[in-house]
Structure 1
Amino acid sequence: MIGTWRWNVGLGLFGGVLTLLFSLGSNGLEVSVLRSVYAFIAFFALAFLFRILLAASLRGNTREAGEEPGKSMDENKGSTLDVSTPDETDQLHDMLKMQLDGNVKTDAVEQAPFQPLTPPKLVSTQNKEPEELAKAIRHLTGG
């Protein structure tokens, strides 16, 4: 379990004193003290419950994949993820030096220079024969 009993007592005292301060203005001293004792017990129990839940959740997160009892190695595959990246700074420096020197290695096929797309121009339907238009519509609708 996380922490010690001192956490429970500290949170219990905090709740008891807070209840006593708020209760003194509207109740007598005996009722206020009794309610602060009840608040101390309630906060003490809540702190104990909170510590148990926190310890259980942290114990579940720190458990290694191979430590789980009753599982074979096949069942543990894929339960851990290595997110570290390999150190490739030397290769990167070499590539940058080659690019600065102009010795960029390209594939056997030379790349063609950039040419913008030249789509066909839209054709107006004003001077078309009606049979050609019907044929085009049938072709587009699949009928």
Structure 2
Amino acid sequence: MMGSWRWNVGLGLFGVVLTFLFSLDSNGLGVSAVRSVYAFIAFFVLAYLFRIVLAAVFREIVTKPVQEPETMDENKGSTVDMSTPDETDQLNEMLRMQLDGNVKTDTDEQVPFQPLTPPKLVSTQNKEPEELAKAIRHLTGG
């Protein structure tokens, strides 16, 4: 078991103080005192349950065997290669293809460049009122 009964009493007293302060505003002294006793019991039991759960979790962590790595290379991870590969030929080829207006795909086919053609926005200024009413009924489900 983790800790001692003092943790339970401490959390119980914390519950007593909180309950008494919040209950005293809207209740009398007697009702607030009774509710504080109930709060002490509830916080004491909840702290006990919380300690049991923590003990089970830590017991599981502590008893779990540590797996040793099979082989450790002593130099592994001690140096970092900060150089980038030389891809200037590949970059020049891509730029040349872009200037020609062709885009190379994964299947090695040359596809001419085509800009996006989004649909045009439609104005409702010159529409018939009946068409607008039908559209509104259709959108509102009425």
Q: What is residue 67 of structure 2 aligned with on the other side?
A: 80
Which structure 1 segments of 5+ residues have no match? 66-78, 93-113, 123-143
Residues 77-96 of structure 1 show CA distances to partners (whole Å, capped at 9, x for unaligned) of xx83539953228x96xxxx
Greater relative CO (CA pairs within 8 A, separation 6+): 1
Instruction: State the aligned residue count.
Output: 89
The root-mean-square deviation of aligned C-alpha atoms, in Å, is 3.7
Larger radius of gyration: 1
Distance 1:38 1:83 in 2: 56
- Superposed CA deviations along residues 28-74 of structure 1, whole A, max 9, x for unmatched, are 10100000000000000000000000000110111144xxxxxxxxx
Q: Tell me what 2:7 maps to.
A: 7
* Partner SS state of residue 61, structure 1: helix
Distance in 2, Cα, partners of 1:121 & 1:64 = 57
After superposition, residues 1-143 of structure 1 pair within 5 angstroms as: 1-65=1-65, 80=67, 82=69, 85-88=72-75
Q: Residues 87, 19 of structure 1: CA spacing in aligned structure 2 closer, same or farther, 3 A cutoff?
A: same
Contiguous gaps of at least 5 residues in structure 2: 80-87, 94-103, 111-142
Shift in CA distance, 33/88, structure 1 to aligned 2, threshold 3 Å: same
Distance in 1 of aligned mates of 2:71 and 2:19? 51
Once residues 24 and 32 of structure 1 are traced to their aligned partners in structure 2, the CA distance between those partners, rounded to angstroms, is 6
Alignment partners' CA distance in 1, 2:40 and 2:28:
18
Give the Cα–Cα distance (whole angstroms) in 1 for the partners of residues 5 and 64 of structure 2.
29
Q: Which has the higher strand share?
A: 2
